[in-house]
Structure 1
Amino acid sequence: MKNQKAREKIQQALYDLIESGNQLSDIKVTTLCQKAGINRSTFYDNYLDIYDLADRLKVYLVDSYLTFLKNDQEKSILSLLRHMSQYPETYRLFFWFNLDDQLTKNHEKIKQFAYQNSRLKNPYQHLFFISGLNAVIKQWLANGCQKSPEEIADLLEHNLAKLSE
């Protein structure tokens, strides 16, 4: 339990440093530990270095996303957006680590929505829509989810309809 709390503090400190504009290569263990309010030895009890922390955090983010998908009864884009609005920090990190390909690769509804949708016959249209979907979600998270998940889902539906005309 003690290690779990330390890891949470470390992850929160990393998130805060990233949000304040730091690149991973610029973050030092000492700075991270000061921000987290822990000793360097506590950091090294849990991680080898900053890159080990980042790698483990990426695995955690993808696992959390996949767990959500597995347990999501609705399996809709709207339910994903609602989940993202509940955990915006997690998903901002998700995009910061360039894990957005996991969204489309693992979300059946998104694949069905874009890839298997017969209205989008051209593969470039699929790519355009998926890139746009990721960009809209990323910007929505960056703006603090000011619009509701329903508004974003409607925007995506509307753009898909326009694209397939």
Structure 2
Amino acid sequence: MDHELKKDRRKIRTKKLIRQALLELTAEKGLSRISVMDLAERAEINRGTFYLHYHDVADLVDQLKQEIFEGIKLIAVGLNPMEVKLYAERGEPYPTLLRILEYLLSHADYLRVMLSPNGDLQLPIQLKELMSQQMLQQFELQKSTESASIVAWDYFLAFTASANIGLLTHWMSRGNDITTRELASMMTQILSRGPLETLMRGVGNKL
């Protein structure tokens, strides 16, 4: 039992070292230029140890992303787009948005680097697709097949997901300079009222 516990701790520690090495090197030279040798040297492990956990650099990045994505999915289950307007009218952040932002903040070291120009160019696209899928699932439960809209659902989802990723990227690039509650309040208002009306109401100055 003690042997297995030590082995698990060693595995966790090694993965942390590799993750930290990935973030440091990505910030320094760009993700596309990193090799397994680079990671091994920075983490002070041999390549054989790296290959015990990952196939290559792409597999490492993919596994780290999937961990974050799975967490988002678990929280997004509680997303109900019809509730957003209610919270916006009360001047409160939508709770599910707040929980998602708090979760993302716990991974800020990874997201800040990987959403930067040196980072993972696929990450914003994949986050957008994930958010679109999660929103679509909830909207499908809410929308009426009889109702007509001047905005097609796919265009609405594309706009909303892209806007949210833009806010997330900006927030990360600024070192999370506002709180999760402030950002969630901002997003709640924009989702409910639209960007122009939110700006004209001066909501951002009241947060």
**TM-score of the pair, normalised by structure 1:** 0.74
Please state how far the C-alpha of 1:30 moved relative to its aligned partner.
Answer: 1.5
Cα gap change, 1:94/1:42 in structure 2, threshold over 3 Å: closer, same or farther?
Answer: same
Cα gap change, 1:126/1:60 in structure 2, threshold over 3 Å: closer, same or farther?
Answer: closer
> Identity across aligned pairs (percent)?
22
In the alignment, structure 1 residue 88 sits paired with structure 2 residue 119: no
CA distance in 1, matches of 2:166, 2:133: 16
Which residues in structure 2 correspond to 1:136-151 (within 5 Å)? Answer: 136-151=167-182
Write out per-residue CA displacement over residues 13-65 of structure 1, whole angstroms, 9 at most, x where no aligned residue.
Answer: 112222335133x1011111121121222112222222222232233232233
The gaps in structure 2 that reach 5 residues or longer are: 1-7, 80-93, 198-207
Aligned partner of 1:152: which letter? Answer: L
Which of 1, 6, 9 pairs up with 2:17? 9
Aligned residues of 1:140 and 1:146 also touching (Cα < 8 A): yes
Q: How many residues end up aligned between the 2 structures?
A: 158
Secondary structure at the aligned position of 1:76 is classed as: helix
- Of 135-144 and 90-99, deviating more is 90-99
In the alignment, structure 1 residue 162 sits paired with structure 2 residue 194: yes
Aligned partner of 2:107: which letter? Answer: Y
Please state how far the C-alpha of 1:122 moved relative to its aligned partner.
Answer: 0.9
The gaps in structure 1 that reach 5 residues or longer are: none
Which residues in structure 2 correspond to 1:71-150 (within 5 Å)? Answer: 76-92=96-112, 95=115, 96=120, 97-98=122-123, 99-100=126-127, 101-106=129-134, 121-123=150-152, 124-150=155-181
Larger radius of gyration between Structure 1 and Structure 2:
2
Highest relative contact order (Cα 8 Å, sep 6+), 1 or 2? 2
Secondary structure at the aligned position of 1:82 is classed as: helix
Aligned partner of 1:45 in structure 2 is 52
Taking only aligned residues, the RMSD between alpha carbons, in angstroms, comes to: 3.3
Please state how far the C-alpha of 1:87 moved relative to its aligned partner.
Answer: 2.6
In the alignment, structure 1 residue 66 sits paired with structure 2 residue 97: no
